[in-house]
Amino acid sequence: LAKTTQPISMDSYEGQEVNITCSHNNIATNDYITWYQQFPSQGPRFIIQGYKTKVTNEVASLFIPADRKSSTLSLPRVSLSDTAVYYCLVGGPYSGSARQLTFGSGTQLTVLP
Amino acid sequence: NAGVTQTPKFQVLKTGQSMTLQCAQDMNHEYMSWYRQDPGMGLRLIHYSVGAGITDQGEVPNGYNVSRSTTEDFPLRLLSAAPSQTSVYFCASSSRGGEKLFFGSGTQLSVL
């Protein structure tokens, strides 16, 4: 199983760009990298998914270097409502690790006014 | 479109009691899973299923049973509740394992 490591917590101010890095040294060839956001008392919510290089959607960007041993979630111009726990997940539909989608401890992002 | 529905939202049990947490999805997803989340902690995988009739253990399966008789439903059974099983339980599904997971709203379980 691909184990992930993230910072436990991060603070930022409104309007700043936030980058959260996840380390996954033993990622498998067929594994994708997926990021989720979780608010208190709610289930995690999908943010973005990628395999290599860069992926961008309406809420975030995901940067993945060539060796794929890490990934960085980038949140542009955060607001107070972005305060949440962010998880990265490694697994894929065609790899063995797809069956056991295990979450790491996540990163608590706190956005300050 | 309801997505992933979990019932009940809250439950209090006495030690030794058994119960079933219900999970249903209406997206025709092959993959379903159960997680538990303890206060201030991440999610830990209990059991998962890649299709009807197929289940397997996750990280913390002891004390829990699952079955998958239909594509839509994936109930989680607590055989003999213990205080250590006090937690929030989340059910999730995806069209295939490793793709976008959809989560239910959770069941808060307290075992006294």
Closest by Cβ to A101, choosing from B42, B90, B98 = B98
* pLDDT category of residue A93 using cuts at 50, 70 and 90: low
Closest by Cβ to B48, choosing from A41, A99, A104 = A99
The three-state secondary structure class of B98 is: coil
Name the closest residue on chain B to residue A30, using Cα atoms.
B98
List pLDDT tens digits, range B30-47. 989 999 999 878 889 999
What burial class does residue B75 get, using C-beta atoms within 10 Å of its C-beta: 0-12 exposed, 13-18 middle, 19+ buried? middle
* pLDDT category of residue A98 using cuts at 50, 70 and 90: very low
Average pLDDT over residues B77-94: 96
User: What tokens appear for A58 in the block?
Assistant: 């309406």
Question: What mean pLDDT is reported for chain A?
Answer: 90
